Structure 1
Amino acid sequence: MPGPGTGATASAASVTSTTAAAPTVPGTAIPSPAVPPDAATVRSVQSAPPVNGASLGRAESAVRSTAATGPGTVLGNRYRLVLRVGSDLSAGAEFWRAEDTILQRDVGVTVLRRLPADEADEDPEGTARAGEMIVRALRSGGFEHAGCARLLDVLAAGSPGVPSDVLGAAVTEWVAEHSLTEAVAGGLIKPLRAARMVQQLASAAEEAHGRGLVLGTDHPQRIRVTRDGRAQVAFVLPRPGLTPEDDVRGLGAVLYTLLTSRWPLSGSDAARAGLPSPERDEHGAPVPPSALRPGVPVELDAVCTAALGSHAVGPAVGRVHTAAAVKQMIGEVVLEDDRGAIFPPEHDGVPAEPGDVWQNKTRKATPQDPDRRRKLLIGLSVLAAGVLVVLGYLGVQLGSMFGESSGPAIVVGDNAAAAPNPTAPGGPAASVAVSGVSLEVYDRTGDRDNAVDVERAVDGNPTTSWSTFTYKQQLPALKPGVGLMASFASVEQLSRITVQSPSAGTVVEIRSAPSADADLKDTQLLTRQTLTTGTSTISLADSQPTQHVLVWITKLGGGGDANVSQIDELTFYRAGL
């Protein structure tokens, strides 16, 4: 079944209440709530707004009209619902970000609702459907994998603290970074990076299927992307009829979406997630990713096509039916990329990364040293003088060996020894700005200053900027500091940092970090400097190579009750070769 395991972290109280209410035989209905909600009262409840602005169909509206719970509702006397982030109508499931009021942390909660279809079959309350889903969740308690959010708790209908309109709920770790929609909203993702993002998800599906479980990868709002760039199943309790082959199609759909920003399976699920649907061929199958985006390798085209298949044309030639096959195909593509490309790739519309061997022709050329020509002429002159000295010396030696001396020995003059120093003026080779810098606000107090504007500090445009909040008291009165965590595509040896800022008096510490989310105590102080108005240059000549650099503000500019620091542009320079 869905997801990762409960393990030892599930609360004893909720597990006890769950197992007491839940049957031990799969498919047996969990008892319906003792006090069903009054129909008139339910109909008067105002439904919550649609997700991502997508219009909801009549079926979902019917489900929502029966929901008396909403933001602020506490489930199991512990989990407070905060924000509904999605729904899987076919499973009668809603996805919520919630707060664990005991451990004071965010969690993900999947809430089961009644479906209109339940009234038309032999399960009018939907308890048999929900009961089977809850039992499958309990059986997945020992399953944990990096491709799934860990299952923490399971709540059955009728358990203490579970509202009468909720048929069950499952609690998982909160995947805090991005939904699948948000992950592709910022622009195209490099094809090979997209493949790496799906690797762990395919591995999780393979292991789950080997244990008789199903994850539910075929719904876009069940998938979220972690801080380190892994696609992960974030919400559990998929519909009872789901099969491992549906998971395989889901893996192909996730990869397809990361490559094209389009969801190729259910059109209603795509609309609900705020994703467009792709164009389709004459058989109704989605067109290959390369048809929508030039530069997608043919191998990734094959992975998507083989995993998605097409019900319209029957069994497809070359279609894969197992998660293990998808994992192997993606693994081979990634391994081949790791071995290094021999030929330049086709342009895929994404700027080249710093480590790329084949750079984008549209990428801005590195500015040349204006003294380069003079340096070259001096170097050539020194080399010519050295050659003449060596030839003169060899001539003298050969003459003394094979000829008769008729006069004093020839002595090489002092002028040659006084040749210019071969070290060209101007110091070491000019350093180069690091491109493709990822930037985020670093603040352990939980209230990140103007996080939506942070990319303006590394967009190459000094007219756009990021700033802290305006504080009435100077740091560290309200918080120890505010930082910008920069991450590079690979480890870099930095020579200096330039900071363009109008906030004179701002004090910054430059720290290397082992990871983007490292605690401040785990970072290493490299240098400290007070910014001046305009451009401030911070030397990192003695620093060690690093992939993450924290610009930590310990004192704000301004003064009085208007303490604020603004950064127009932050540039990192790689040490010259």
Structure 2
Amino acid sequence: MSGQTEETPVPGSGTGTAAAAPVAAVPEVPGTTIPSPAGPPDTAAVRASRSAPPVNGTSVARGGSAVRSTAATGPGTVLGNRYRLVLRVGSDLSAGAEFWRAEDTILQRDVGVTVLRRLPADEADEDPEGTARAGEMILRALRSGGFEHPGCARLLDVLAAGSPGVPSDVLGAAVTEWVADHSLTEAVAGGLIKPLRAARMVQQLAAAAEEAHGRGLVLGTDHPQRIRVTGDGRAQVAFVLPRPGLTPEDDVRGLGAVLYTLLTSRWPLSGSDAARAGLPSPERDEHGAPAPPSALRPGVPVELDAVCTAALGAHGAGPVVGRVHTAAAVHRMIGEVVREDDRAAIFPPEHDGVPAEPGDVWQAKTRRAAPQPPDRRRKLLIGLGVLGAGVLVVLGYLGVQVGAMFGESRGPAIVVGDNAAAGAPVPTTPGGPAASVAVSGVSLEVYDRTGDRDNPADVERAVDGDPATSWSTFTYKQQLPALKPGVGLMASFASVEQLSRLSVRSPSAGTVVEIRSAPSADAELGETQLLATQTLGAGTTTISLADSQPTQHVLVWITKLSGGGDANVSQIDELTFYRAGL
């Protein structure tokens, strides 16, 4: 990407100058002529050699050096003697590609690795090893080696089948910079995104597609797990090696799909890709077209509705009125929407269903003030209590003096103190001191620091007020903490709350939960404070939080799952937090 420094040459690493590592041949693709480059790509070097068929588990590379084959590539496998696979974060079955977070063991940094696998269709296509398909995909990666843009991760290295250190079950791999922040699913799991912010998030991605198509390249924006969102709010192509048959028109539909997802939290293209990414599919009309974003969410501007509809169109249906076929047109349409929003910033915006953010120019009159830190709020309450007691003492003294001056009062006596101890009934009016009210507006997200989050798309069902809907963990073949230390739900409130209790409605008897207060929604587990531990029964379990301090974030941390054997899973139908009576 622009502004990034070139990769440091490391002897034997496969990346460097022409003097450090020559460019070797990639497997031949029938009907394809590989141009002779004047030198190696500036941003990616290819460590490939044409190999003979494996003999007794060993493939012989050009020059007579033997390369030991390794089957069942998975976490911990090192590719090219350099890139250690850490966590698989997605896959594109139509391309035979897996997406991994990996570690560059030489430069000690995270990288993204796209690994190519054999497909069952390869045998039917008279390509039983899949080498022709992989060769074409590797060739495309080579041609994109000099392409850099903020809308896509920079290509660092390319590994071809038969290269030293590449297992026999890997047909090729491409290494890119790691986009460490959020997957597309995680970006929309936290709640609705403002429509104009979603448009700005896709703007750079559309610009990258426009420039790539001008160079004869495709990006692969039509798969949700190839897209990640950076910390500064840019949608970016994070994984390369799209399927061979991909065209620029598929990229255009992908741009419309990414914008559609940011607006509605639904993926409008392949239903199988959506399910694999943990995203629901939208409803469709009789022609198979997805419902427009404004039909699923109020407040979406008609201009963004038009961008999505025009970009998605009807795949393979021929000319469609109002459809756009180029990334340049999508980029121009989104740019016009963003520029118009900048010009109209002096007028109050229409309500789009999302609360105003602290940095927004226009704030709703009902917007609550930013929450005070718990310690400061507690001190303020103590000070107000002392001040109130002092005022009562002064008023009582003045009342006595006034009574002495004007004679004995004939009204009913006022008893100051404990009415119950004096035999008088304690008033219990709704919302009074004896009442506790459920906290509203609770946002919820899956808390997991070790791997894929459990069903993040369903998490809001646990606080939607409907016990018929629910969230559940994955089904684990082993009990916690064999595979991970626990699974959590992080609840966040609009402001700091003093809680009295928590009710958990769940059919998963035997589930053990820890209730923890957290300084922030993304705090580490060690930064949280244990409030209570409870084993859930079947039905509603009430957990007392009477001794807790005011907090804005509460973690429901599951340390033991319900079930047993190879079917360990816990389900939560509803979480209800109750505010202490004031």
TM bucket, shorter chain: 0.5 to 0.7
**Which of 275, 278, 283 is the matching residue for 1:274?**
278
Classify 1:297/1:7 alpha carbon distance in 2 versus 1 (closer, same or farther; 3 Å).
same
Task: Determine the structure 2 residue equivalent to 1:75.
Answer: 79
Task: Determine the structure 2 residue equivalent to 1:291.
Answer: 295
Give the C-alpha shift of residue 240 in structure 1: 1.0
Q: TM-score, normalised by structure 1?
A: 0.58
**Which of 179, 190, 193 is the matching residue for 2:194?**
190
Identify, as 1 or 2, the structure richer in helix. 1
**Which of 460, 465, 475 is the matching residue for 2:496?**
460
**Which of 32, 35, 54 is the matching residue for 1:35?**
54
Task: Determine the structure 1 residue equivalent to 2:131.
Answer: 127
User: How many Å separate the matches in 1 of 2:121 and 2:21?
Assistant: 28
Q: Deviations over 1:237-263 (max 9, x none)?
A: 001111111111100100000000000
Classify 1:365/1:81 alpha carbon distance in 2 versus 1 (closer, same or farther; 3 Å).
closer
2:88 aligned with 1:84:
yes
Classify 1:4/1:223 alpha carbon distance in 2 versus 1 (closer, same or farther; 3 Å).
farther
User: How many Å separate the matches in 2 of 1:241 and 1:10?
Assistant: 34
Classify 1:361/1:292 alpha carbon distance in 2 versus 1 (closer, same or farther; 3 Å).
farther
Classify 1:348/1:207 alpha carbon distance in 2 versus 1 (closer, same or farther; 3 Å).
same
Classify 1:72/1:461 alpha carbon distance in 2 versus 1 (closer, same or farther; 3 Å).
same
1:298-317 alignment, distance < 5 Å:
298-311=302-315, 313-317=317-321
1:383-402 alignment, distance < 5 Å:
none
Q: Deviations over 1:547-572 (max 9, x none)?
A: xxxxxxxxxxxxxxxxxxxxxxxxxx
User: How many Å separate the matches in 1 of 2:173 and 2:153?
Assistant: 15
Classify 1:139/1:315 alpha carbon distance in 2 versus 1 (closer, same or farther; 3 Å).
same
Q: Deviations over 1:237-292 (max 9, x none)?
A: 00111111111110010000000000011111111111111111121111110010
**Which of 298, 320, 324 is the matching residue for 1:320?**
324
Aligned-partner residue type, residue 266 of structure 1: S
1:508-527 alignment, distance < 5 Å:
none
Classify 1:71/1:302 alpha carbon distance in 2 versus 1 (closer, same or farther; 3 Å).
same
Quick check: 2:71–2:167 contact (8 Å CA) kept in 1? no
Give the C-alpha shift of residue 456 in structure 1: 4.5
Give the C-alpha shift of residue 460 in structure 1: 3.1
Question: Helix, strand or coil: the match of 1:90?
Answer: coil
Classify 1:142/1:238 alpha carbon distance in 2 versus 1 (closer, same or farther; 3 Å).
same
Quick check: 2:77–2:85 contact (8 Å CA) kept in 1? yes
1:242-261 alignment, distance < 5 Å:
242-261=246-265
2:179 aligned with 1:175:
yes
Larger Rg: 1
Q: Deviations over 1:397-422 (max 9, x none)?
A: xxxxxxxxxxxxxxxxxxxxxxxxxx
Classify 1:335/1:105 alpha carbon distance in 2 versus 1 (closer, same or farther; 3 Å).
same
Aligned-partner residue type, residue 466 of structure 1: A
Higher RCO (CA < 8 A, seq sep 6+)? 1
Quick check: 1:87–1:93 contact (8 Å CA) kept in 2? yes
1:130-529 alignment, distance < 5 Å:
130-311=134-315, 313-341=317-345, 344-360=348-364, 363-364=367-368, 456=492, 459-463=495-499, 465-466=517-518
Aligned-partner residue type, residue 256 of structure 1: Y
Q: Deviations over 1:85-137 (max 9, x none)?
A: 11111111000011111111111100000010000112111001101111111
Question: Helix, strand or coil: the match of 2:344?
Answer: coil
Give the C-alpha shift of residue 458 in structure 1: 7.2
User: How many Å separate the matches in 2 of 1:286 and 1:80?
Assistant: 40
Quick check: 1:3–1:236 contact (8 Å CA) kept in 2? no
User: How many Å separate the matches in 2 of 1:330 and 1:69?
Assistant: 42
Quick check: 2:227–2:236 contact (8 Å CA) kept in 1? yes
Classify 1:300/1:36 alpha carbon distance in 2 versus 1 (closer, same or farther; 3 Å).
farther
User: How many Å separate the matches in 2 of 1:451 and 1:323?
Assistant: 41
Question: Helix, strand or coil: the match of 2:289?
Answer: coil
Q: Deviations over 1:130-164 (max 9, x none)?
A: 01111111111111111111111110000000001
Q: TM-score, normalised by structure 2?
A: 0.58
Give the C-alpha shift of residue 68 in structure 1: 1.2
User: How many Å separate the matches in 2 of 1:315 and 1:128?
Assistant: 33
User: How many Å separate the matches in 2 of 1:89 and 1:3?
Assistant: 31
Task: Determine the structure 1 residue equivalent to 2:98.
Answer: 94
Percent identity of equivalent pairs: 79
User: How many Å separate the matches in 2 of 1:142 and 1:217?
Assistant: 19
Aligned-partner residue type, residue 240 of structure 1: P
Give the C-alpha shift of residue 362 in structure 1: 5.5
User: How many Å separate the matches in 1 of 2:178 and 2:297?
Assistant: 32
Classify 1:19/1:125 alpha carbon distance in 2 versus 1 (closer, same or farther; 3 Å).
farther
Aligned-partner residue type, residue 251 of structure 2: D
User: How many Å separate the matches in 1 of 2:25 and 2:87?
Assistant: 27
Classify 1:10/1:465 alpha carbon distance in 2 versus 1 (closer, same or farther; 3 Å).
same
Identify unmatched segments of 5+ residues in structure 2: 35-48, 58-69, 372-446, 448-485, 500-515, 532-547, 551-582
Give the C-alpha shift of residue 217 in structure 1: 0.4
User: How many Å separate the matches in 2 of 1:242 and 1:457?
Assistant: 45
User: How many Å separate the matches in 2 of 1:250 and 1:91?
Assistant: 15
User: How many Å separate the matches in 2 of 1:365 and 1:27?
Assistant: 64
Give the C-alpha shift of residue 21 in structure 1: 3.8
User: How many Å separate the matches in 2 of 1:274 and 1:120?
Assistant: 31
Classify 1:212/1:458 alpha carbon distance in 2 versus 1 (closer, same or farther; 3 Å).
same
Q: Deviations over 1:421-457 (max 9, x none)?
A: xxxxxxxxxxxxxxxxxxxx9xxxxxxxx99888859
Aligned-partner residue type, residue 252 of structure 2: V
Quick check: 2:80–2:163 contact (8 Å CA) kept in 1? yes
Give the C-alpha shift of residue 365 in structure 1: 7.7
Identify unmatched segments of 5+ residues in structure 1: 39-65, 368-440, 442-449, 472-481, 485-500, 504-532, 536-577
Question: Helix, strand or coil: the match of 2:89?
Answer: strand
The alignment of Structure 1 onto Structure 2 pairs a total of residues equal to 377
Aligned-partner residue type, residue 141 of structure 2: A
Q: Deviations over 1:490-511 (max 9, x none)?
A: xxxxxxxxxxx999xxxxxxxx
Question: Helix, strand or coil: the match of 2:290?
Answer: coil
Aligned-partner residue type, residue 35 of structure 1: P
